[in-house]
Amino acid sequence: MRLAFVLSFLTGAYSVSVLGPEKVISNTKGNVMVQCKYDESYTDHVKYWCKVNRLISCYKLVSTSEDTHSRITIRDNKTEGAFYITMTDLTKDDEGQYKCGIDIALGFDEQALVHVQVNEAQVEPIPASTAEKENRISKQKQEGSTYPTNHLKSPSMLVPLAVSFGVLLLLCCVAALIVCKIKRNIRPAVADKGEKVL
């Protein structure tokens, strides 16, 4: 085992201590499950799942020591010698290279490269679900509840808003005209008084 590890390290070949599928494709619901098998000598090591990133070499998403990601879970079956990663609600942005990893020390981690592909057939359910959401929104509007994030964008709200703004503008103009007229009426009166004083 140790020899295999040293050899794989020296040759730069793929790890022999952790094995993952070369490529996985999400199902039509946008979910994917990856199985990574490992050598029994690593049973008690921390396992993780990371995304290959150009800036950071591999960005850790979840690990068996801290499973924090909402869409991604990791589960280690020690009797089987395999850990499972489940990713849900995948979008095209999630597509790319990932790695099954085993925490060892200081960059000596064992890793297996896995390409995750998002199913093309998955594109169909997305418009259906947004249509459902829109349906729900219109239903809520009918029921009279407001939709704070959406109400300014909808034209049905912009029209009354524009009309009331126009009315407000008109009122301001009228008020300004009245003020001007009053001022003009006062000035001659003051001037008249002035003449009378003289």
Ligand X SMILES: *[C@@H]1O[C@H](CO)[C@@H](O)[C@H](O)[C@H]1NC(C)=O
Cα separation of 151 and 162, whole Å? Answer: 14
Identity of the residue, 75 or 115, whose beta carbon is nearer to ligand X in the bound complex = 75
Q: Is there a contact between 27 and 119 (Cβ–Cβ < 8 Å)?
A: yes
Q: How many residues bind ligand X (CB under 6 A)?
A: 3
- The stretch among 28-36, 55-63, 74-82, 134-142 that binds ligand X (CB under 6 A) is 74-82
Contact flag: residue 22 with ligand X (CB under 6 A): no
Please report whether residue 80 would count as binding ligand X according to CB under 6 A. yes
Residue (of 78, 81, 73, 61) closest to 31 by Cα position: 73
Q: Which stretch binds ligand X (CB under 6 A): 12-20, 73-81, 140-148, 153-161?
A: 73-81
77 lies in the binding site for ligand X (CB under 6 A)? yes
- Residue 150: partners with Cβ closer than 8 Å, 6 or more residues away: 137
Q: Which is nearer to ligand X, 77 or 154 (CB)?
A: 77
Whole-number minimum distance, CB 80 to ligand X, in Å? 4
Distance CA 110, CA 90 (A): 26
Indicate whether 11 belongs to the interface with ligand X (CB under 6 A): no
Q: Which residues bind ligand X (CB under 6 A)?
A: 77, 79-80
